[in-house]
Structures are given as structure tokens and as C-alpha cells.
Amino acid sequence: MSLLAPVRRDRVIAELPPCFTKEAALHSRTSFHPKVVGMCQAQRTGTVGFKISKIIVVGDLSVGKTCLINRFCKDTFDKNYKATIGVDFEMERFEVLGVPFSLQLWDTAGQERFKCIASTYYRGAQAIILVFDVNDVTSLDHTRQWLADALKENDPAGVILFLVGTKKDLSSPAQYNLIEKDALKVAKEMQAEYWAVSSLTGENVREFFFRVAAQTFEGSVMAELEKSSARRIGDIVRIASDERDLYLTEKRRRAKCCQ
């Protein structure tokens, strides 16, 4: 029996949410990986339904990390800037392809003086969200350094990356198009999926976090699949080595009786 409240109906993901732009997406599939669907249908997702996936949100001060999380988790927006001191986190529960799935969203401080506290929480992330302000090209340049710092604490091959431009409401279409070109370059270079959002209007916020949840879920199920195939290969090796031992024992036995 689960003591947890049921997942909110608006946190149920039954289809793979679409990417923001095909130019910088993690992959070109329009639906969940068939292996992932198969594992979910067969209820073979192992520990995925019990685990909490850690997502870290990093980027320069005042780019809008806290507002982005608050818009999604609490549907609120605060126009006054209150710097995050160290870190903060929010939990979000989803149901993906019928499997419960939880995200822990770690909101870190962008201010230099709090950076060393925040960086102690980077370890063990399944996804890294790199945030910049679409009206501030320097904050986009700085995402490279934020990524380098976050990867010092994580296995680069094991994390999913998202590059997110915020405050889209403050830029004109012409200004936005200019920075988008640069952002797409950075996203491709990092192998990150690119998104542009506004926490003030809510534009693309829900779509973005649904994509984060879905991609992280896929990653977790695929990792579970790899683990179970590794176990099967391990069993074959163990059986083979047991057989070899048996053979050796038999040979030794025969050698003994012929002495």
C-alpha cells in the first residue's frame, strides 16, 4: 500500500512530449523508445518507480532559475528578486507510461559568494538544466563554465543536458531570433536540448518540465534495462565458470582414480 497521495492528474505523461526545436533536441524520435514502452507494459521497470531523480538547475545570478521552478511547481511568479542562498529544492511527482516517477529539482545560487555551498550539491544529478537570460548574451556564454563545474561532480556520459533561455517575454522577436542562433550553437556544442521560456507568462514552462521528466524517465528505464542485461550476462559467465570448475573437478577426479 502506498502512503503517498496519488499523482496529480496534470502530472500524467502518456506520450513523449515534443521538443522545442528539432535543431537542438536530444533525439528526433516523436514517441518513447519502444524498449521503454515494452518494459513499462511488462511492468519490468525495476526500481525506477521508487527512485527520486535529481535534477540540478544552474546559471548566472538573476537569470530566473528560482522563478522557473516556482512557475512549474507552485504556479507563482515573483517580480522581486530574492537571491537564492546556497540551494533549495522542490519535489515533483509524475506518472510516466503508468509508472510513478519523482523529480527532485535543485535550485542553486548563481551569486559567486554562494557558489561553493551550491556546488557541493551537484553530485548524483541525472539531468543538468543550464539557465541563461535570452536578453543577456554574457549569461549564455557563462553556461559553458556552469556546465564544466557541474560535470566535475558528475559522470558526463550519464547526465542529460538542457539549455534554457528565460525571460522570453522581455525580448522582441527580432532580438530573440538573434540570440537563438547563438544559443543553438552552444546547445549543439554541449549536446544539450534547447528551450526558451517565460516564467512571467508561463510560456513553454510546463512543456519544458514535461520533457525533462520524460527524458529522465527514459534514461532511468534504459539504465535499468542495461543493469538487468548485465546481470544476465553475469549469470552466463558465472554458469560458464561453474561448468569449468566442474570439468576441472571431474578431470582431477579421473586423474586421481588413474593414479
Interacting residues toward ligand GTP by CB under 6 A: 61-67, 78-81, 83-84, 109-111, 166-167, 169-170, 198-200
Nearer to Mg ion, 50 or 81 (CB): 81
Question: How many chain residues are in contact with Mg ion, going by CB under 5 A?
Answer: 3
Task: Give the CB-nearest residue to ligand GTP.
Answer: 110
d(CA 110, CA 146): 9
Position 220 contacts Mg ion (CB under 5 A): no
d(CA 211, CA 206): 9
C-beta of 119: minimal distance to ligand GTP in Å? 13
d(CA 224, CA 237): 20
Position 84 contacts Mg ion (CB under 5 A): yes
DSSP code at position 155? -
Residue of 101, 161, 107, 165 whose CA lies nearest to 135: 165
Bridge partner residues of 89 (DSSP): 106
d(CA 199, CA 113): 25
C-beta of 8: minimal distance to ligand GTP in Å? 23
Nearer to ligand GTP, 107 or 218 (CB): 107
Torsion sign across C-alpha atoms 102, 33, 202, 99: negative
C-beta of 186: minimal distance to ligand GTP in Å? 18
Nearer to Mg ion, 70 or 171 (CB): 70
Bridge partner residues of 12 (DSSP): 95
Q: Which does 79 bind (CB under 5 to 8 A by kind): Mg ion, ligand GTP, none?
A: ligand GTP
Query: Nine-digit cell at 27?
Result: 533525439
Position 66 contacts Mg ion (CB under 5 A): yes
| Contact residues: Mg ion, CB under 5 A | 65-66, 84
